[in-house]
C-alpha cells in the first residue's frame, strides 16, 4: 500500500508543564505512581483564554498530549528494553511507552485539580504527572470514564503497578526535609519516598549497593544509596 501524500504535520505548542522533575532520572514511568508530584500546565498565548477551557473544570481527569522534547533529538529505536522486564528483553517500540518513538509524542492521564486565572495567566492545576519541568504540551482532552476506563482490558507484560521499595532517611536528611517542608509547604518526604520507592535506577545498576545516587526534585538534590532491600537517603543538597 502506498503512502498517501499529506501536507507535513506541524503542531502548535499550546502549553508548558511546570513540575518538580528537573532531570529524567527519578521521573516515574507513568503518571499517578507518585501521588505527591503535583504540577501545573500553563496555557500559552493565544491559547490562554477562558473560552478554550470552558466546561473543562467539571472533569476530574484529562489526557495531556506532549512532546518528549528532551530525548527527541536522539531519534527513535525499533526495539527497546522495557524497565518493567528488568532490561533483559527487547520489545517493539509500539509495544512500549518508550520516549524514543518515530514521532516523539507522549500521552498521560492526569488529575485536574482546578483552573486558575489571573495576571494574564491561565493555569491548570494537575495531580501526579510523569513529565519533566518545561515539557511542551500540544493538546488537552477530557478523560471520559465511560469510554476510556476499561476494567476488563489486559495489561500485557505490565499487568499491575510495580511494588515500592522501602525508603529510609538518615537523621540529617530527615531534619533537612522537615526544614524544607516548613519553608515551602511542599511534601518533600512523601515525594522522595514515592519517587525513590519505584526504583528509578536503570536496569544495569539494579544489582549495585552502596553506590551514591543523586535525584533532583524541585531545587534539591536528594542523595541516596541502595542497601539491597531498602534505600537510604543520606543527605539533601541545595541546587543552584
Ligand atoms: N505517560 C506517557 C509517558 C511515559 S514515558 C506515555 O505513556 O506516553 C515516561 C518517561 O518519560 C518519564 O519516566 C521520563 O523519563 C520521560 N519524560 C518525561 N517528560 C519528558 C520530556 N519532556 N522529554 C523527554 N522525556 C521525558
Q: Break the chain into its structural domains and give their ranges.
A: 15-148, 166-238
Whether 131 is in the pocket of ligand 1, judged by its Cβ within 6 Å, is: yes
CATH class for the domain made up of 166-238: alpha beta
Find the largest Cα–Cα distance for the chain. Answer: 65
Backbone angles phi, psi at 167, to 5 degrees: -115, 125
- Topology match between the domains 15-148 and 166-238: no
pTM of the model: 0.94
Closest Cα to atom 15 of ligand 1: 24
Q: Where are the alpha helices (DSSP H) in 43-159?
A: 145-148
Percent of the chain as helix, strand, coil, to the nearest 5: 20, 30, 50
Give the pLDDT band of residue 157 (cuts 50, 70, 90).
very high
Report whether pLDDT(222) > 80. yes
CA-to-CA distance for 238 and 223, rounded, in angstroms?
A: 11
CA-to-CA distance for 41 and 47, rounded, in angstroms?
A: 12
**ω into 46 cis (within 30 of 0):** yes
Homologous superfamily of the 15-148 domain (CATH): YaeB-like (2.40.30.70)
Mean pLDDT of the 131-153 span: 97
Residue that wins the pLDDT comparison between 173 and 211? 173
Give the pLDDT band of residue 223 (cuts 50, 70, 90).
very high
pLDDT attached to residue 207: 79
Q: Are 7 and 103 in contact (CB under 8 A)?
A: no
* Alpha carbon of 27 to ligand 1 centroid (Å): 8
Closest Cα to atom 3 of ligand 1: 106
Could you identify the residue written with the cell 551514591?
212
166 beta partners:
230
Q: Is 157 helix (H, G, I), strand (E, B) or coil?
A: coil
CA-to-CA distance for 157 and 150, rounded, in angstroms?
A: 17
Q: Are 113 and 228 in contact (CB under 8 A)?
A: no
Measure the N-to-C terminal CA separation of the chain; round to a whole number of Å: 54
Closest Cα to atom 26 of ligand 1: 68
pLDDT attached to residue 29: 87
Q: Mean pLDDT score of the chain, rounded to an integer?
A: 93
Report whether pLDDT(169) > 80. yes
pLDDT attached to residue 191: 95
Whether 23 is in the pocket of ligand 1, judged by its Cβ within 6 Å, is: no
Q: Which atom of ligand 1 is nearest to the CA of 98?
A: 5
DSSP secondary structure letter of residue 181: H
CA-to-CA distance for 76 and 97, rounded, in angstroms?
A: 12
Please choose, from the candidates 33, 83, 202, the residue with its C-alpha nearest in 3D space to the C-alpha of residue 91.
Answer: 83
Please choose, from the candidates 52, 71, 40, the residue with its C-alpha nearest in 3D space to the C-alpha of residue 12.
Answer: 52
* Alpha carbon of 130 to ligand 1 centroid (Å): 6
Report whether pLDDT(233) > 90. yes
Could you identify the residue written with the cell 484529562?
62
Whether 106 is in the pocket of ligand 1, judged by its Cβ within 6 Å, is: yes
Q: Are 29 and 2 in contact (CB under 8 A)?
A: no
* Alpha carbon of 90 to ligand 1 centroid (Å): 19
Amino acid at each position: 500500500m502506498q503512502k498517501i501524500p499529506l501536507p507535513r504535520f506541524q503542531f502548535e505548542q499550546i502549553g508548558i508543564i511546570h513540575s518538580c522533575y528537573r532531570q529524567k532520572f527519578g521521573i516515574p514511568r507513568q503518571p499517578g505512581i507518585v501521588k505527591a508530584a503535583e504540577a501545573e500546565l500553563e496555557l500559552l498565548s493565544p491559547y490562554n483564554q477562558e473560552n478554550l477551557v470552558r466546561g473543562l473544570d467539571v472533569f476530574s481527569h484529562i489526557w495531556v498530549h506532549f512532546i518528549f522534547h528532551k530525548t527527541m533529538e536522539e531519534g527513535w529505536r525499533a526495539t527497546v528494553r522495557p524497565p518493567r522486564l528488568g532490561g533483559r528483553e527487547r520489545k517493539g517500540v509500539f509495544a512500549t511507552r518508550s520516549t524514543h518513538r518515530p514521532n516523539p509524542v507522549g500521552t498521560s492521564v492526569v488529575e485536574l485539580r482546578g483552573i486558575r486565572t489571573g495576571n494574564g495567566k491561565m493555569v491548570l492545576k494537575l495531580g501526579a504527572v510523569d513529565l519533566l519541568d518545561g515539557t511542551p504540551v500540544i493538546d488537552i482532552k477530557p478523560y471520559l470514564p465511560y469510554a476510556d476506563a476499561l476494567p476488563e482490558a489486559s495489561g500485557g507484560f505490565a499487568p499491575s503497578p510495580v511494588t515500592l521499595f522501602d525508603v529510609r532517611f538518615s537523621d540529617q536528611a530527615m531534619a533537612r526535609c522537615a526544614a524544607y517542608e516548613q519553608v515551602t509547604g511542599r511534601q518533600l518526604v512523601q515525594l522522595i519516598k514515592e519517587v525513590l520507592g519505584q526504583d528509578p535506577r536503570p536496569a544495569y545498576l539494579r544489582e549495585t549497593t552502596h553506590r551514591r545516587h543523586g535525584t533532583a526534585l524541585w531545587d534539591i538534590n536528594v542523595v541516596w544509596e541502595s542497601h539491597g532491600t531498602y534505600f537510604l537517603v543520606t543527605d539533601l543538597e541545595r541546587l543552584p
